[in-house]
Amino acid sequence: ELQYGRLATLLVDLLTDEEASRDQLTGEFRFDIHLLARRVVNAIDWAARAPVTGAVPIGLFGASTGASAALYSAVLRPNDVQAIVSRGGRPDLAESALSLIDAPTLLIVGEHDANVLALSLRTTSPACTTSARCPAARLKHLAYLRCEPNFSCFGNHPDLES
């Protein structure tokens, strides 16, 4: 549907097949946010140069640690990244970059993802944006924090299956 809205889309696996297999056993790559961010930056650079996407604004969507990589990448390419969506992401893993992000950012967390919500916000209160301890409060342009009721960003979604 994004393409019908004249938005280009690019899906990128941030780990090679070999790294993904090894990571299943060791977990050594999934939290290497700098490695993941470098790969997102490579994709941004490619999209900015490609004839079909070069003139199209770039928005980043990341899930889990991929969201942290997207946040870091927005700092590294501030003129290219126009928006960020983090679904079930870990902004706490990109905490040092948060105050430097210029792009509007949407954080989506499922109501049933208490651990992710607590890690992301360092509190269980959605009013966390007033707290200096809250990573999300460091975002200059936090467009919205959405806690999806009856939803988990991980696992099955019976309300969406029909």
Q: What is the mean pLDDT of the chain?
A: 79
Cβ atoms of 91 and 135 closer than 8 Å: yes
Bridge-based pairing state of the strands 81-87 and 142-148 = unpaired
Q: pLDDT digits over 82-120, tens only? A: 889 888 888 888 888 888 888 888 888 877 777 777 666
Cβ atoms of 104 and 141 closer than 8 Å: yes
State mean pLDDT over 69-90: 91
Q: What is the pLDDT of residue 107?
A: 81
- Percentage of residues in the chain with pLDDT exceeding 70? 69
Q: Write down the pTM of the prediction.
A: 0.78
State mean pLDDT over 2-23: 86
Cβ atoms of 104 and 123 closer than 8 Å: no
pLDDT band at 158 (very low <50, low <70, confident <90, very high): very low
Q: What is the pLDDT of residue 147?
A: 64
Strand, helix or coil for residue 51:
coil
Distance CA 133, CA 25 (A): 33
Q: What is the 3-state secondary structure (H, E, C) of 64-104?
A: CHHHHHHHHHHHHCCCCEEEEEEECCCHHHHHHHHCCCCCC
pLDDT band at 130 (very low <50, low <70, confident <90, very high): very low
State mean pLDDT over 12-28: 94
State mean pLDDT over 46-73: 91
